[in-house]
Amino acid sequence: MDIIKTLCEEFKIRQNHAENIVALIDADNTIPFIARYRKEMTGSCDDQVLREIYDRLQYLRNLEKRKQEVSASITEQEKMTPEIETALAEAKTLAEIEDIYRPYKPKRRTRASIAKEKGLEPLSEMILAQQLRSGTPEKQAEAYINEEKGVLSAEEALAGACDIIAETISDDPEIRKQLKTLAFRQGTVSSKGDPEKQSVYTMYYDYAEPIAKIPSHRILAVNRGEKEEFLKAAIEIPEENAKAILFRRYVKDGSIFTELCRSAAEDAYQRLIFPSVERELRNDLTEKANEQAIKMFGQNLKPLLMQPPVKGKTVLAVDPAYRTGCKICVVDENGKVLTTDVIYPTPPQNKKEEAAKKIKAYIDRFSVDCISIGNGTASKEAEIFIAETIREVSRPVSYMVVNEAGASVYSASKLGAAEFPDFDVSLRSAVSIARRLQDPLAELVKIDPKSIGVGQYQHDMPQARLEESLRGVVESCVNSVGVDLNTASPSLLGYVSGISSTVAKNIVAYREENGAFTSRTQLKKVPKLGPKAYEQCAGFLRIPHAKNPLDNTAVHPESYDHAKQLLSLFGYTEKDIQGNSLELLPSKADLYGRQKAAEECQIGLPTLNDILKELAKPGRDIRDSLPPPLLRTDILDINDLKEGDLLTGTVRNVIDFGVFVDIGVHQDGLVHISQICNRYIKHPSEVLKVGDIVKVRVLSVDTTKKRISLTIKGAKENEK
């Protein structure tokens, strides 16, 4: 297989770009670095495409390696033929290779291997040839009776020979290929459950859906139901059509052995092929469902991490609880903890007056701008209390209910203990809830992505694959935003291109010992941060008040001279980078001709465009261009909702069948996929992402089950 050619065809990229991407990956360059600083070499592939190419490259290389292993094994057995060589060369998947290898793979003792030990293989070959037209099978089998080998009768000889035939049919890769094709065209996934047992899987107690149409989330739901022993799942294939595939290939009419072959084919299907194919099909379906769920998790995680920070605001955080009280903390605009406390406005204490007095005092004392409320236990009561309290304060204060998923994980972690050794676990949670509003990315990187709560069935996923994918998402977000070298935590630095967790700790230690970094080149003095790591990380690290203003941009040090040439070309100097002196630079480059400017500065056009963007807005945060989070000043109750109400909400989770929207009533409402827009969409992610602010209309409210059904269709028009 020509791997480069395959990548070109699958990703629709030019050969030289594919060759460059593979070479860059093999040279241990990170995906963020390649995506940002090697655009000329890759045809400006973005990091998502590069990650897909990386995954595919690993698969294709493993495929080639397995082909060589199988080829060597078959050759060693002296059974290699031109047909097998061709089949191996044309195999596109690991499953195809294993099907080709199946007849030659060392097996444990089977009924067929025992029959071969008894010398019945020649008889099986005679039967399978089906050339004899007269006589009886028993007569032909008499020659194979051998008491020493345990063949005591013609019937036993025929039975053993049929076992060999059944295994031969079972090992035929073409048969398995055709059966899998049939299954995807006509097969169904079914599940059964005991109606007497109550569970969340009742809709799957008598369920069937075509394999070709079943969505990923239902495959995962059935799998989990089976794992929890509420369901029994199966693959169903039209048996007559399946057996017909075997009969066409192995049964010839008119021979004395025809019926024996037919019987052996049926045995092969029932006993050997179908159970194996069913396992493979379920594994394939599960693997695809897992990949879809992992992809969906990543799509939800990215906008959550990229939520615009609430900058320059003093935040009071509330970590709600009942019996133990609500933990509160106040952090300044830089995230520094100013004070912590515990209040008891919720049952069973209900000390609302005392709690309100404290909240008002903290708002006045620290000039609090916003309040961040965790969405866990007692969140509803805490939100009502806060909404009522801020009505009575003189300064404008808004609040937001933030997703606190994973806050408790962080609080109990070594990282949480190291950051706040003197704090109680619950107080650490309050700090995390405050900082999530101020800078979601910097805070959420401290938490295992699986614990952030925006996925489906994440605990059922292959954990290594999930972690690899989610790390890629976090890495992409961190590097696209950039990191302040003088304030970043080790957790945040650990996601920067080229920086390991050890080097991240060394950077912080160097910073604490030597003071703030004043230039990127100082990174070279950090222990274990060598030339390669410097090349990979330097462009993603920012120094706001650096000696060289380029150190506060995404311009890579390797391009500083080119950036200076560009400035000089249009009559500017490095001093003009500070402030907004270069806002007109892109327009001047357009008038001059960007391609011409790139050639004069001896750089590629993509690099020139990136430098222009950075110089025009040095130190910019790409998150600032996104819609800000929705801050509230009042609260609704689910009992206040009625059909037709128009509301504004925030998308909290995007799943296969719809989106959950926070409309400020503690219970998220569901917008089913059919209610998202007027046109047909395959998946909600085509239209919406986590963090989007949407107008919705209430379709129905079930206060008993705490279910809210919403629609986005027509909500904007109705508002007008």
Convert the pLDDT of each residue in 394-444 to its tens digit.
Answer: 999 999 888 887 777 788 888 888 888 888 888 899 999 999 889 989 888
Could you tell me the maximum CA-CA distance found in the chain, to the nearest angstrom?
Answer: 107
Which position has the higher pLDDT, 652 or 100?
100
Convert the pLDDT of each residue in 458-499 to its tens digit.
Answer: 778 888 888 888 899 999 999 999 999 999 999 999 999 999
Is 718 a residue whose pLDDT tops 80?
A: no
- Write down the H helix ranges in 146-194: 154-170, 173-186
SS3 label, residue 634: coil
SS3 label, residue 697: strand
| Helix 47-76 with 82-90: angle, nearest 10 deg | 170
Q: What is the mean pLDDT of the chain?
A: 91
Token pair listed for 64? 């080639």
Q: How far apart are CA 273 and CA 268, in angstroms?
A: 6
Convert the pLDDT of each residue in 585-642 to its tens digit.
Answer: 999 999 999 999 999 999 999 999 999 999 998 888 888 877 777 777 776 678 888 8
Is 287 a residue whose pLDDT tops 80?
A: yes
pLDDT, mean of residues 169-191: 95
Is 240 a residue whose pLDDT tops 90?
A: yes
Q: How far apart are CA 394 and CA 360, in angstroms?
A: 9
One-letter amino acid at 322 equals Y
> What does the pLDDT read at residue 455?
64
Q: How confident is the model at residue 368 (pLDDT cuts 50, 70, 90)?
A: very high
Burial of 48 (0-12, 13-18, 19+ CB in 10 A): middle
> What does the pLDDT read at residue 716?
62
> What does the pLDDT read at residue 720?
38
pLDDT, mean of residues 300-313: 87
Q: Three-class SS string for 450-501?
A: HHHCCCCCHHHCCHHHHHHHHHHHHHHHHHHHCEECCCCCHHHHCCCCCCCH
What whole-number percentage of the chain has pLDDT above 70?
A: 97
How many alpha carbons lie under 13 Å from residue 374 in its C-beta half-sphere?
28
Q: How confident is the model at residue 719 (pLDDT cuts 50, 70, 90)?
A: very low
Domains delineated in the chain: 3-104 (1.10.10.650), 147-296 (1.10.3500.10), 315-466 (3.30.420.140), 509-625 (1.10.150.310), 638-719 (2.40.50.140)
pLDDT, mean of residues 131-136: 93
Q: Which of 554, 390, 418 is nearest to 482 (CA)?
A: 554
Is 647 a residue whose pLDDT tops 80?
A: yes
pLDDT, mean of residues 574-592: 89
Q: How far apart are CA 508 and CA 506, in angstroms?
A: 5
**Residue 271 DSSP code:** I
Q: How far apart are CA 160 and CA 152, in angstroms?
A: 11
Q: What secondary structure does DSSP assign to 519-547, as a single string?
A: -GGGGGGSTT--HHHHHHHGGGEE-TT-S
